[in-house]
Amino acid sequence: MADAFSEDERKILEPYFTNLDKPVFAFTSRVPEEVVAVLFSKYSRSMHSIRKNFLDLVKDPESGFKGILESVSGSGSNDAFTTALAKSRDFFRRVLVEYGDDSVGELGVAHVAFENVSQIAAKKIEDARLVSPLEKSTRYIVFEKGNYCKPATIANSGLAAEYAKLCDDLFDAYSSQLEPMKAFVRERWPITEFDFNGRKISQLTDETEAKRAKTAYESSVKAKSLDILRYYLPAATFTNLGVTANGRAFEYIISKLMSDELEEIREIGRMMHEELSKVIPSLVKRAAPNNYLAETRKAMRSFAAAKLSQAKAKKQATVTLVSYDKDAEVKVVAAALYQFSSHPLSQLTKIAKKMTEDERAKVIDEFIGRRSARREKPLRAAETAYYQFDVLSDYGAYRDLQRHRIMTQIPQPLTTENGYDIPPEIIEAGFETQFNTLMRKAASVHRKIAAEMPLEAQYAVPLAYRIRYLMQFNLREAYHLIELRSVPQGHPSYRHVVQEMFRQIQAVHPALAKWMKYVNLDELDALGRLKSELRKEEKLAAFEKK
């Protein structure tokens, strides 16, 4: 039955809930996250609704909640807020004991900003499945000279000057080549080649339309130029990112960062703990350095170095399908039928095995074939088949692909030993000699630092250098990853990686790959962002007309 509230109760509740009379509602931004976590946790052990439990919290003098709400609304004093907050935190701690720290930690969400962290640190922060990160883009933002990490261990060594000179030279090349590269891109892909609203941009007579088209074109020129020049940026380059996660995820991330081998990352973990303790203290109170993580990394690094010292790393293609589910089609067919039947999986698996290839293909067609847009993913039966790829790509491509967290990803340390990629536009624009000179210099500096500080040496490696990483994911994630990252506006480097993934999946499982119909296999050499930018301008124009 719907809750009935008195007029006084409605006055209390209205600022904190989006409605008081429907079975679906949301909290407003006035409700602290820890309070949301406590109220949600009560669903498991209370007969009452959220809004009734909210009123109980307000009325309970032990909760300190009334004082917090008065402070949030501006009617309470700072002293009263401090007292109420201390009470409420004691109250929350008791709730955590009663309901379980982990389950309550899942329910409280916070947002953290990280500024001036290296590319290395950003990847460590984002290396968690249960976070939602958004990072400063190398495609839209020009990174400024001098904005890079100077690790204390390098700064206090005899290699400090050489490291700084390398980073400065890389940034000098990056910034000095931007305008010449934009000029090269304009010449290579002139504005006259493209359409806007079905007409050549050069033929537009409407001043507003022409301006919009030129804005889209120039945005694409800049994006293309920065896509090319990002290969110069060292991994030390500072970036900014925002992360949203729940208390449980933050607790794990903090412990992981505080246990890292690099001081920059440990310090980020400490600062993260300090700041989150101000907003969701009860939910991150257990976060601490983890000896298991720290000691395991140290021991395994030493063990691997000794065990593999005589084994020279073999050359391998950019993308290698190392392992895949040999019974993938049978598993997907059985699981697809399972969801819509009352039969046990073992029986359905036997039925699927007895089917001919054509019969299994028909089930797969029924299961996946009705997709009409890229965002329509196969149902969960597609999660029963897996693929494991060994990838060797430039670090810039890894940065983009690493954002896909619904999979297993295992990167190796960043090094110069795997060689580097050079964009063809660097060669065509006449910067090949300077690029190669700087890459060789980076390799030399990296080797010198690595002799004393192998992990800190990663900061000196430009994004052009290749990193090896393992990616394992199921068929459903393959649809998402490959179709999304192969779109024309994607960076050519990671487009090549996912296109190869598709070809190799198609070779072993053609019936399962058949409906990846939004994979773009064109070898594009153009302004990939331009169509998106033009569509954006078209939508803005239509919106303004309305």
DSSP codes joined into one string, 133-147: EEE--TTT-PPPTT-
Domain locations in the chain as residue ranges? 7-107, 108-138+233-309, 312-414+465-515
Measured distance CA(85)–CA(79) in Å, rounded: 10
Cβ neighbourhood burial of 527 (10 Å; 0-12, 13-18, 19+): buried
Gap between the Cα atoms of 252 and 496, Å rounded: 34
SS3 405: coil
Write down the pLDDT at residue 126. 92
Q: Specify the pLDDT at position 187.
A: 93
Which pLDDT value is given to residue 109? 82
pTM: 0.86
pLDDT value, residue 84: 52
Give the model's pLDDT for residue 96: 56
- The CATH-assigned architecture of domain 108-138+233-309 is 2-Layer Sandwich (3.30)
Share of the chain above pLDDT 90, in %: 62
- Taking CA 498 as the corner, what is the angle to CA 493 and CA 499, rounded to the nearest 5 degrees? 95
Residue 68: predicted pLDDT: 60
pLDDT at position 38, please?
73
What is the structure's pLDDT at 110? 84
pLDDT of res. 388: 98
Residues of the chain short of pLDDT 50, as ranges, are 76, 81
Whole-number Å distance between alpha carbons of 366 and 361: 9
Closest CA to 140 of 212, 232, 229, 244: 229
Confidence at residue 67, expressed as pLDDT on a 0 to 100 scale = 65
What pLDDT is recorded for position 73? 53
Query: Average model confidence (pLDDT) for the chain?
Result: 88
Position of tokens 């990112």?
Answer: 241
Q: Which CATH class is domain 312-414+465-515?
A: alpha beta
Q: How many angstroms separate the CA atoms of 138 and 178, rounded?
A: 13
Alpha-carbon distance of 287 to 30, in angstroms, equals 26
The reported pLDDT for the residue numbered 43 is 74
